[in-house]
Amino acid sequence: MVDKIKSTAKGIWYFLSSKIFLVNLGILLLVLTVLYFLTTTWMKSYTKHGTSLEVPKFVGLDIEEANRIAEKNKLNVLVIDSSTYNPKVEGGIILEQSPTPDAKVKEQRSVYLTISKSIPNDVSLPDLVGNYDATNYARKLQRKGLKSQIGKKVFDANQQPNTILYITIDGKKYTDDDISKGVSIAEGTMIDLVVTDKGGTYTDLPELNCLTYSEAKFILDSYNLNIGSIMNDATVKDQNAAYVWKQRPAFRDGKTINVGASVDIHLTRFKPKTCN
């Protein structure tokens, strides 16, 4: 038995040490080595392993220029229309992008671009019935992307001042009956409000506390009053969006003031906690 094992082992050794086996083994190792390097080189080339590029800034450009830059940087662009219309921005201008500028991406990555609308959306005027107060109606118009201003004041001793009688758009008159039937206009349109005025030399002093600066100015205009001194505290960054936390003269029910008089206001960035 021992002799048989020795004979078998001796035969295996002769085979493994033979020239034919060693030559074939060398060829096999060479083929495997070549295949390994070819495979890893191809994978690096295919996946761009270890390589990336920075996303250019597209915001503020038009689509044609963005396409040229994207092609130069081996990127793809996908355009998304903005849902809102801004008359101050030319149509087709890039407003946002994703990924953001300077982000690291690979070649052929898609960059999503949001562009400004060229044509405004049509929106419906809110009903006047139940919304005759000019201040409240102006807020409703603003939420729909429409502008408003006091176009005319009409003396009416029987109604509260600032009550809307009708509106005009580009000189055309619309009453509450017209609006209830449905009136569609383009975003950004200016609406002129024709409101009541008590007349005389005195008018009610409105309460301005808790209103934004732009709202307070609108109300003072509708009462034929002026804004006097404006005191901003250290938090105010955008005056139009700041809130009134104090006024002089102070508001009191039934208090009147001379038409054309000035009202001083104190502004703060955040809405006071005492406001509803």
Is residue 226 in some structural domain? yes
Determine contact, residues 136/178, Cβ cutoff 8 Å.
no
| 170's tokens | 């580009």
Residue 94's contacts (CB-CB under 8 Å, 6 or more residues apart) are 58, 59, 60, 61, 62, 63, 66, 113, 114, 115, 116
Helix axes 134-143, 213-222, angle to 10 degrees: 140
CATH code (residue 63)? 3.30.10.20
Q: Do 110 and 132 belong to one domain? A: no
Rounded mean pLDDT of 174-193?
A: 90
Q: What total number of domains does the chain contain? A: 2
Beta carbons of 166 and 175 less than 8 angstroms apart? yes
Tell me, yes or no, whether 68 and 174 share the same domain. no
Residues 249 and 198 in one domain: yes
**3-class SS at 49?**
coil
What average pLDDT does the segment 180-186 reach?
90
Q: Is residue 216 part of a domain?
A: yes
Does the structure show a pLDDT above 80 at 246? Answer: yes
Q: What is the mean pLDDT of residues 53-74?
A: 88
Q: Is residue 275 part of a domain?
A: no
Assess whether the previous peptide bond of 249 is cis (omega < 30° from 0): yes
List the domain range (segments joined by +) for residue 75: 53-115
157 and 106 assigned to the same domain: no
pLDDT in tens, 30-48: 767 777 666 666 555 554 5
Asked if residue 130 and residue 84 are part of one domain, the reply reads: no
Q: Express each pLDDT in 130-146 by its tens digit.
A: 888 998 999 999 888 88
| 124, two tokens | 């419906």
